[in-house]
Amino acid sequence: MIELSYFAAAVLFILGLKRMSSPKTARGGIVWAGAGMVVATFATFFMPDMGNYGLMILAILIGGGAAWYTGKKVAMTDMPQMIAIYNGMGGGAAAAIAAVELLKGHFDNSTFQVLAVAGALIGSVAFSGSMIAFAKLQGLMKKSFHFPSQQAINLVVFGLAIAFGLYVMFAEAPGGFALFMFFALALAFGVLMTLPIGGADMPVVISLYNALTGLAVAFEGFVLGNAAMIIAGTVVGSAGTLLTQLMAKAMNRPLTNVLFSGFGAVEAESSAGPEGEMKEIGAADAAVMMAFANKVIIVPGYGLAVAQAQHKIWELSEMLEEQGVDVKFAIHPVAGRMPGHMNVLLAEAGVPYDKIYDLEEINAEFPQADVALVIGANDVVNPVARNDKSSPIYGMPILNADQAQNVIVVKRGRGRGFSGIENGLFFLDNTRMLYGDGQEVAAKLIAEVKQL
Amino acid sequence: MIEGFTALYIFMLAAFTGYEVIARVPVILHTPLMSGSNFVHGIVLVGAMVAMGHADTDLERFIGFIGVMLAAGNAVGGYVVTERMLEMFKSSKEDRK
């Protein structure tokens, strides 16, 4: 009966994930997977030879309750770090299972012992690494830390963790001290490995830890002989690895670069910067320009989300549509803090997903657009990526906003973007700058369009 | 118990399944999908419960307790966040409130 429930859970997880990979069925997908989880958890209470039920239920209530509360409360812009922290908890749980099993220490088969240690190592790294990722994205930890011979030290810590791991694996009676050292070193390695990675690369790292946790869960599943854990963990492990690769590709950052070099520490602004000057425009003129256009493409970036301007922008685009303007949203794969994050933020504001276009779909349309409205986006529309080989973002696919008839850039100030790279788009003849906070500017534009 | 090669077969098939399920996903769903797969490995809860259920000493019980707590957080948090995100994906043809 229990085995049957686990089987059903595994099937529900896979079907759920499958449904989640299309926007039409995605909402049902999570419900399916959720049902699988409930079935599996419930069945586990009926496993033979179990005890400690009271404490177990208490632990579920505490952990689940805290997660429920924070999950409901968190703002959509903070979503990436919440995923990091929940993921880290999963890795920590896998490590805890390994700790209990290793303390008991009666394995029928040495393969299981090896898997338990491997899962513990991966789980611990995912746990402490995810916590650092959370701290960084939450802004608790501003800088990326570098110190001399960092990689050598990381390697030593990793090597020591492996050494203790091997000892635990093959010793007759490993004892508490060796186990403790093993876990401490594994956790330390997760911290050290994540510290030097910059905030912009964090999503890729979170995705990687997500895959690692999946793998750790699968390993512990082998140890416990639990098919549901093996299947679910492995599916997440391979899906997560693929997702990590897709993300790294979308950001044009090979995974090895992300893990082994700091971003932004590399270049000292090689070129003299683009020629020409930035030209300003007022909200009134900008409103007229858009209201009498045939086609407007809006390019939102993370700045839009920070200013909480999504709702205002959607209101503005609805008003423009009433004037007969064709409005589309163009989203760069890495707009926001991770791929797809901006889609979530726009969806929150009520923008239907069929108004939102990917880079490949929309780029051909920019030359026909009368106005491209760039809000809070910078690097993803920087033409430097196309033609300046010395630029660190050279080769990254960009949105061709510069090919629109007119470009209006809404920006807080004259400074550079997230990556610190000068943007050639701002200096073009057909570009006008509209300075101000995203939300205020959007409100002004709405007021002006109303008066027309 | 699942032994030797059977385990390896399960591992291989599940790995391919995961790959195939994700292979053609549009970029707009990357974040929800990462969150969704994050939820799925919350199944670790089941393992944590088993480990805790078999715990004999106080130390084992303590570690088991932490494990179950973390795992429950993973499962519940993963679900809530994913559900909230997907809740917002609606097409313009549907009625919006």
Mark which residues 75-94 of B lie under 8 Å from A by CB: 75-94
Under 8 Å CB-to-CB from A356, ≥6 apart: which residues? A328, A329, A331, A343, A346, B28
User: So what's the pLDDT on residue A238?
Assistant: 93
pLDDT digits (tens, 9 = 90+) for B19-67: 888 777 777 777 888 888 999 999 999 999 999 988 888 888 999 999 9
Asked whether residue B80 carries a pLDDT value surpassing 50, the answer given is: yes
Low-confidence winner among A150-154, A192-196, A239-243, A390-394 (lowest mean pLDDT): A390-394
User: So what's the pLDDT on residue A25?
Assistant: 82
CB–CB contact A103 B26 (8 Å)? no
Residue identified by tokens 């995912």 is A126
* pLDDT band, very low/low/confident/very high, at A232 (cuts 50, 70, 90): very high
Give the Å distances, CA to CA, from A184 to A97, A117, A178, A179, A190. 16, 13, 10, 9, 10
- Decide which of A131 and A281 is more confident: A131
Distance from CA of B60 to the nearest CA of A (A): 5
Strands (DSSP E) contained in A287-349 are 295-300, 326-331
What is d(CA A253, CA A247) in angstroms, rounded to the nearest whole number?
Answer: 9
Q: Where are the domains of chain B?
A: 28-88
Which residue in B has a C-alpha nearest to residue A250's C-alpha?
B27
Mark which residues 243-302 of A lie under 8 Å from B by CB: 243, 246-247, 250
> Three-state SS for A58?
helix
Q: Which two tokens stand for residue B27?
A: 């970029």
- Decide which of A285 and A272 is more confident: A285
CB–CB contact A233 B41 (8 Å)? yes
Asked whether residue A262 carries a pLDDT value surpassing 90, the answer given is: no
Asked whether residue A60 carries a pLDDT value surpassing 90, the answer given is: yes
Can you give the pTM of this predicted structure?
A: 0.79
Q: Tell me how crowded residue B61 is: count the other CB atoms within 10 A of its CB.
A: 17
- Decide which of A191 and A48 is more confident: A191
Residue identified by tokens 């409130």 is B97
Which residue ranges form the domains of chain A, and what is each CATH number?
74-260 (no CATH), 283-450 (3.40.50.1220)
> Three-state SS for A371?
strand
pLDDT digits (tens, 9 = 90+) for A354-373: 888 888 888 888 888 889 89
Query: Quick check: B14 contacting A, CB < 8 Å?
Result: yes
CA dihedral sign of residues A130, A113, A241, B37: negative
CB–CB contact B72 A96 (8 Å)? no
Q: Which of A224, A235, A333 sits opposite B17 (nearest CB)?
A: A235
Dihedral pair phi/psi, residue A434, rounded to 5°? -120, 100
